[in-house]
Amino acid sequence: MSTESPTLSLTKQLIARSSVTPNDEGCQQLMIDRLNALGFSVTNLRFEDVDNFWAIRGDAGPILCFAGHTDVVPTGPEANWRWPPFEPTAIDGQLFGRGAADMKGSLAAMVVAVEQFVAQQPHHHGRIAFLITSDEEGVAKNGTVKVVEWLQQQDITPDYCLVGEPSSTALCGDVIKNGRRGSLGCKLTINGQQGHVAYPHLASNPIHNAVPALTELTKEVWDHGNEFFPATSFQVSNINGGTGVTNVIPGELNVVFNFRFSTEVTDQQLRERTVAILDKHDLDYELDWQLSGQAFLTPEGELVDAAVASIKQITGLDAELSTAGGTSDGRFIAPMGTQVVELGPVNATIHQVDENVNIKDLDILTSVYQAMLEKLFV
């Protein structure tokens, strides 16, 4: 007779499906079957090669949406794993497998928390929803962003959204992400004139021309941040120019850079200020901007209060509110006016070889999610 908790059991079933982005490999159907049994209305939403679904239970009142992704990052060389990455293995209180922490454990906790809540409160106030994608770890073009567009067409706006990203640092529940910085990337091409290094007057070296402007960009103070966000960061992530030999002045320089920006500045302001600096140095250049997501923040409100209080109730921890880290699908949901928080297990091993999650934390997370439902809908 199994002594596994329902959350551990479902986490194992999800890990066993090799859902490397953008493939779902049946993970969503596992969840849908459980939600159908609870009376959820489920809409499958496939956009190009990406599976998504929207599920909702209840007829009226505010909507609490559980959001997450079934896709995982590639494993890397499987020979480097102590156990096969898609064969969930429980050892010394830890569950190993790709997606254990990011974020199949959270998905399982969401489903089981809702099952337990509905069993106790079959006629609960409000509506419970799930927004699940298999395109979060990849290009994120046909996942949550498309589901949000569909929701807007249906005139559906979640009031609250709980994203199951692994937010915790040392202990489950010690950190809640109540916002994220925006991400604005750019490919900059600086044009010069190729020539022989012995005749520089007959050429124009784009590397030499670019250095003063790049130096100014790296030293610019874009903002000072605020209570929730650090100052906006500018980072050059790639730079390339030249033919690979010593005697040729290159004809162009290619630079890739990124802004991680706070709510103190807009992406349009960053673009305009970058152009002003480049123009000041009289460069011949082109810019190819890529906005991955706007900064978003849920500084306070019913959802933050419910998350903080539920963590305190279940774990005794005083959760820290944080906006640190990379982007998440919360960036697509928050612009609807939805209160968004991210709350999940410890993130120490995400995307790593031998990714794992503490087995006890899976049940802690389930209890926290259920407590949040009770605080919002009872």
- Which residue of the set 71, 102, 115, 137 is catalytic? 71
pLDDT of residue 37: 98
* Predicted TM-score of the model (pTM): 0.90
Rounded Cα distance between 160 and 271, Å, is: 32
For 109-157, the DSSP string reads HHHHHHHHHHHH-TT-SSEEEEEEES-SSS--SSSHHHHHHHHHHTT--
Q: 99 pLDDT exceeds 50?
A: yes
Q: Write out the two tokens for 375.
A: 């605080």
Q: Report whether 190 contacts 285 (CB < 8 A).
A: yes
Q: Report whether 10 contacts 361 (CB < 8 A).
A: no
Residue 40 burial class via C-beta count within 10 angstroms: exposed 0-12, middle 13-18, buried 19 and up: buried
pLDDT, mean over the chain: 97
- Which residue of the set 136, 252, 355, 361 is catalytic? 136
DSSP single-letter state for residue 300: S
Rounded Cα distance between 181 and 233, Å, is: 10
First to last CA, the chain: 34
49 is a catalytic site residue? no
20: left (phi over 0), alpha (psi -120 to 50) or beta: beta
223 is a catalytic site residue? no
Peptide bond into 22 cis (omega under 30): yes
Rounded Cα distance between 123 and 57, Å, is: 10
Least confident of 262-271, 293-302, 341-350: 293-302
Q: 90 pLDDT exceeds 60?
A: yes
User: Alpha carbon 332 to chain centroid distance?
Assistant: 10
pLDDT tens profile 16-61: 999 999 999 999 999 999 999 999 999 999 999 999 999 999 999 9
| Element (DSSP H or E) covering residue 375 | helix 359-377
Least confident of 161-170, 312-321, 326-335: 326-335
Q: Report whether 177 contacts 322 (CB < 8 A).
A: yes
pLDDT of residue 2: 58
Measured CA distances, 25 to 32, 36, 147, 165, 170 (Å): 13, 19, 19, 20, 31
Q: 71 pLDDT exceeds 80?
A: yes
Mean pLDDT of 195-213: 98
pLDDT of residue 1: 46
Q: Report whether 86 contacts 18 (CB < 8 A).
A: yes
- Residue 327's pLDDT band, with cuts at 50, 70 and 90, is confident
- Strand, coil or helix: 254: strand
Q: Report whether 251 contacts 276 (CB < 8 A).
A: no
Q: 342 pLDDT exceeds 70?
A: yes
pLDDT of residue 298: 94
Mean pLDDT of 274-301: 95
DSSP single-letter state for residue 346: B
* CB atoms inside a 10 Å sphere around CB 315: 18
Rounded Cα distance between 66 and 62, Å, is: 13
Rounded Cα distance between 329 and 331, Å, is: 5
Q: 354 pLDDT exceeds 90?
A: yes
pLDDT of residue 349: 97
Q: Report whether 251 contacts 206 (CB < 8 A).
A: yes
